[in-house]
Each structure stands twice: as structure tokens, then as C-alpha cells.
Structure 1
Amino acid sequence: MQKQKTAYLLMAIPAVVFFFVFHTYPALQGIFYSFTDWRGYGDYNFVGLKNYFNVFKDDRALHAYLFTFKFAIVTTILVNVISLLIAMGLNSKIKFQKTLRAIYFLPNILSILIIGYIFNFLFSQLIPLLGEKLGIEVLTNNILGNPDLAWWGIVIVAVWQSVAFNTILYLAGLVTIPSDVYEAASIDGAGTWRKFWSITFPMIAPFFTINMVLAMKSFLMVFDQIIAMTGGGPGQSTESISLLIYRGGFEGGEFAYQSANAVIYFIVIVVISVFQIRVLQRREVDM
């Protein structure tokens, strides 16, 4: 038994070392530099909490936070609604059920950047061309070039790709519901809507909680889709926090300042995730 424990320990040590070197140490280093004026090179001086206070005074940072929250909330809601509808459809008795499940999951395994570049071409070239050919004026404009509409293009792409993963989780929850529960409800005269609210949704509530938390966390860190589709533009209308931190820290000589921004954002994401879990788990109990 002692030899077995030693073997397990030896197998775990490399993973712990790699995790510390490539994750924990860089994170601690970033926190350290957030209290300095380091630009990413040269010498630095300690400035205390100055960087943290400046983040709350930065209009560009505040705009990025507002855009990111707006994007994350809208996309999270759309993804979960669409995923649940698809999962319920795939869980019903239809032909080619397994094939359809595989097809729906395909977007999740594709590269986000590649998908972003493809949709960039569709929105900027193909759709306006089709709009001209069909005489549909609404489609002739590239929405990615419109400051008010560009973020909807990113939402469409994010939803299209993310629905796959959430659908699989909802399917895992739906198969745990015994069929005789629905049969008993049908005998009592319950309709489709009543079955959903009284049986389906309460019994998949834990899966709903997981999907909501994971989706919100993922969309709060949106980066690749924006890089591939708008680059944060037009202007700064689609600049997310992740993109602002990247550009300011690695391209703008604001390494220490954006490190402080990253620490604040990390805390924000943790607080939102914990809040979601507490509220949604309380709802599970109430159900």
C-alpha cells in the first residue's frame, strides 16, 4: 500500500510542477506587477493601488466592461434557450437521432478563429452580395462595419458555436428523466407546456445551473471571435475586457496597469460565478 501511494505521488508531481510553472507562477507574477509601473520592459517602481484606482477612472475600460457584460448576458440567454430546445427535439423519438447529435456537435470542435474569419467573409462579402442580387436592402450593408450592429455579428457566431456543447449537457440531463413520469402526467391530463414546467425543467435544473455558469464565464472572456471578426471595432464599439487587457498590456506598454485590470476582472468573474451558483442552486431546492 505504501509503494502504491508513493507511485501515485510520483505521477502527480510532474502535473503539479507544470501547473505551477505555467499557471500559478505567471498569475502571481501578474499580481505582483499590478502594484508597479512596469511597462513590460526596463525598470519599475512600486505604485501601490494606483493602477487599481485608475481602472475605475478609465472611460475606455468602463466601456469595455459594459460591452462585455451586455454581450455575455445576451449570448448566455440565447445559447441556453436554443440549446434546450434542440436537446428536447433530439431527445424525442425521431429518425437519425445519433447522426443529428453528431452534426449538432461539429461546431464545437472547430477553431474559433477559423470560424470567425469565415463569418467575417460571410457578413462583409457574401451576404451583402446576396442582398444586392435579391434586392433586399437590409442585407446589403455589412453589419460588422456598423458600430451599433457589429456586436450582433459576434453574438451570432458565439451562439452558433457554443450551442453544441450546451446541447450535449442538456441531453445528458434529459435522459435521466424516467419516461413513466411523463406517462403519468399524460394520464392526469397535463399538456406539453405543463410537462415542461412541472417535470422537465425541475429535473434538469442542475444541468441548467452548470450550463448557465459555464456559458457566462466563457462569454465574459470573449476574445477570439472579436479578434477574427471586428478587431474591437468599428472604433472601440466591440472591444471586450480581454482584448483591452491584451492590447494595452502587450502592445501599448501598459503591462502593470492592465495586470491590475486583469486582477479586477478575475475577481468580477469569480463573484458573478459564485452568485450564479448560489442563486440557481437555491432555485433547484425550491423546485
Structure 2
Amino acid sequence: MRYGRKGKTLVNHLVFVGPAFIFFALIVAIPFVMGMIYSFTSWNGVSGEVQWVGFENFKKIFTSDKQFFASFWFTIRFTVAAVLLSNVIGFILALLLTGPIKTRNMLRTAFFLPNVIGGLILGFVWQFIFVKGFPSIGEATGIGFFKLPWLGDASTAFWGLVIVFVWQIGGYLMVIYVAALQNIDDSLLEAARIDGANRMQILFRMILPLVVPAFTVCLFLTLSWAFKVFDLNLALTNGGPYGSTESVAINIYQEAFQYNRYGLGTAKAFLFFLIIALVTTAQVYFTKKREVEY
């Protein structure tokens, strides 16, 4: 059987795109639509009785669910701190490891390795470090930093989560920034040096504007990861002490699967999705406007 050009194109699309589209529909699209529908219902997630309640779940969130807004405020503070620190540290590591260092490839691998470890495992490892390791070092050295109640106090638990998050993804961001720095034409930097520019002027006037596309990608990734932090938060603090480090993702998980209020949980998830979509879209829009070509 002979196919025309359009027929061959259709067959190629079905062969190469069709399986991916089917899996995307089954795993992402259909559950997303079902979640939107369930957000307007009262369902415990188990029984076959689903009661349509309209906007009651959303009204309850905005009128009487104080813990959701406490979790949201924690997530905002965590996101701001984690995004800023992880990008700054990732960029500094990239600057250092694009220089003439003999062991730079080995160092890049070492800094990237934490990203390979799963969030749950990483959380349990750092929980042991904070609870057992740091106090032992504090007793041996007398340094107050290691004697802090890292997971027992709201403020130190917050920064403990930030430290572990930055430690995990800093190396991943470093790889992206390294690729961007290596893509800069050396002749541009050499011309700036000949014209008398110092290191700080080259960094802020030349390098930073040229790696804005990498900042766009890294800010997008870190914003979405920090907003949706779950496994690391669950393993390290489980929202404690007394719910002070409970992220929105954990709040949604507890609402749907522990308290068996699946309709209310999906309503929270839908609101959370809209907020993340708006924030990341705005971030990409504004950073794209600052990108330069050379």
C-alpha cells in the first residue's frame, strides 16, 4: 500500500508522538481534569458516593482554613530563601569551576552528586546529621552553631530545610550555569580586558547579561521545585515542630489522604496549581525581556 506525503507525515506523527501523547494523557491530563472535577465535590477518596457541593470547598479554604494559609506563608518564605541561595551558590560554583582548576571535573561531579539522591533518603540522612552529628561536633568543638536545636525550633528548622534544599540542587544549577559560561565568546571578554575593564565590571557588565537565559531556566526550575517541596520536607521535619514547617504540598497530602477529605484536598491543589502557574509565567516573562543576544 502506498501512502502520499500527508499520509506518511500522519503515520510518522502517530508512531513517534502517539505513544508519548497517550502516556501524557493517562498520567497527567486525565488525572488533572478529574482533580478539577473532584474539587467541587465532597468525597472521602474511598466510597462510591460523591456529593456535588459546588464552591463550598473553596469557601471553606478562604474562610476557616487557617493552617492552609500558614502553610502557604511558610512555602513563600522558603521559596524566596531557597531560590535566592541556590542560584547564587550554583552560579558562584560555576564561576569557580570554569576557571583553570586541575580538579574541576572531579569537583563538578562531587557537587552534582547530591541531586542524584532521592529527597526522602536525603531528608533522613540530614535528619541524622542534624539530630546526632551536629550535637556531637558541638560538644567536641564548643561551637554554638552545631549546638542549635536544628529540627526542634521553628526558625532553625526552617533554615535546616533551606540548607538541605540548596545542598541538593546547587550542583544541578551549577551544571546549567557552567554550560552558559562556556558558551560565552572569549574574544568579548578579552576585548573588555584590553579596554581596561576590571573583574567586577566584566562580571556585572558582560557575564551576567550574557547568562540571563540560564538564569531564566534556573529560576523557573527552582521556583517550581521550592513551591512544590514535599519529600524533603516530609522526611526531614514532617511539618514540625507544631506545623511550623508544613509546606502546602504536605498540607494538601494530609487533607486528602490522612483526613480523607479528598474533595477539599483537590480544591487546595487546584488553587496551588494556579498560583504556581501565575508565578512561574510572570518570572519567565520578565526574565526573557532581559535576555540579550550577541
Structure 1 length as normaliser, TM-score?
0.95
Task: Determine if the alignment matches structure 1 residue 10 to structure 2 residue 33.
Answer: no
Task: Determine if the alignment matches structure 1 residue 52 to structure 2 residue 62.
Answer: no
State how far apart, in whole Å, the 2-side matches of 1:94 and 1:258 are. 51
Instruction: Determine the structure 2 residue equivalent to 1:173.
Output: 180
Identify which of 139, 142, 147 aligns with 1:132: 139
Deviations 1:46-96 (A, max 9, x none): 111111122122110000000001001110000110111110111112212
> Post-superposition, which runs of at least 4 consecutive aligned residues in structure 1 deviate over 6 A?
none
Instruction: Determine the structure 2 residue equivalent to 1:38.
Output: 43
Deviations 1:259-280 (A, max 9, x none): 0000000000000001111111
Task: Determine if the alignment matches structure 1 residue 201 to structure 2 residue 208.
Answer: yes
State how far apart, in whole Å, the 1-side matches of 2:38 and 2:9 are. 42
Identify which of 246, 255, 269 aligns with 1:239: 246
Query: C-alpha displacement at 1:286, in angstroms?
Result: 11
Identify which of 183, 189, 197 aligns with 1:190: 197
Deviations 1:3-40 (A, max 9, x none): 46414413432222222112111111111111011121
Deviations 1:128-168 (A, max 9, x none): 12212222344224311112210111100000011011111
Change (3 A) 1:65 1:169: same
Greater CA drift, 165-174 or 10-19: 10-19
**Aligned pair count?**
287
Query: C-alpha displacement at 1:124, in angstroms?
Result: 0.5
Instruction: Determine the structure 1 residue equivalent to 2:285.
Output: 278
Change (3 A) 1:137 1:94: closer
State how far apart, in whole Å, the 2-side matches of 1:142 and 1:95 are. 39
**Counterpart contact for 2:210–2:292, Cα < 8 Å:** no
Q: Secondary structure at the match of 1:143?
A: coil
Letter in 1 for 2:114: P
Instruction: Determine the structure 2 residue equivalent to 1:63.
Output: 70
Query: C-alpha displacement at 1:246, in angstroms?
Result: 0.6
Query: C-alpha displacement at 1:202, in angstroms?
Result: 0.6
Identify which of 254, 272, 280 aligns with 1:265: 272
Q: Secondary structure at the match of 2:139?
A: helix
Instruction: Determine the structure 2 residue equivalent to 1:143.
Output: 150
Structure 2 length as normaliser, TM-score?
0.93
Query: C-alpha displacement at 1:41, in angstroms?
Result: 2.4
Q: Secondary structure at the match of 2:42?
A: coil
Letter in 2 for 1:10: V
Greater CA drift, 186-195 or 3-12: 3-12
Q: Among the aligned pairs, what percent are the same residue?
A: 33
State how far apart, in whole Å, the 1-side matches of 2:23 and 2:40 are. 26
**Counterpart contact for 2:134–2:146, Cα < 8 Å:** yes
Q: Secondary structure at the match of 1:237?
A: coil
Instruction: Determine the structure 2 residue equivalent to 1:99.
Output: 106
Task: Determine if the alignment matches structure 1 residue 155 to structure 2 residue 125.
Answer: no
Greater CA drift, 180-189 or 233-242: 180-189
Letter in 1 for 2:59: F
Q: Secondary structure at the match of 1:198?
A: helix
**Counterpart contact for 2:209–2:292, Cα < 8 Å:** no
| Gapped regions of structure 2 (runs ≥ 5) | none
State how far apart, in whole Å, the 2-side matches of 1:31 and 1:50 are. 14
Identify which of 20, 23, 26 aligns with 2:28: 23
Change (3 A) 1:81 1:137: closer
Instruction: Determine the structure 1 residue equivalent to 2:94.
Output: 87
Instruction: Determine the structure 1 residue equivalent to 2:232.
Output: 225
State how far apart, in whole Å, the 1-side matches of 2:170 and 2:132 are. 25
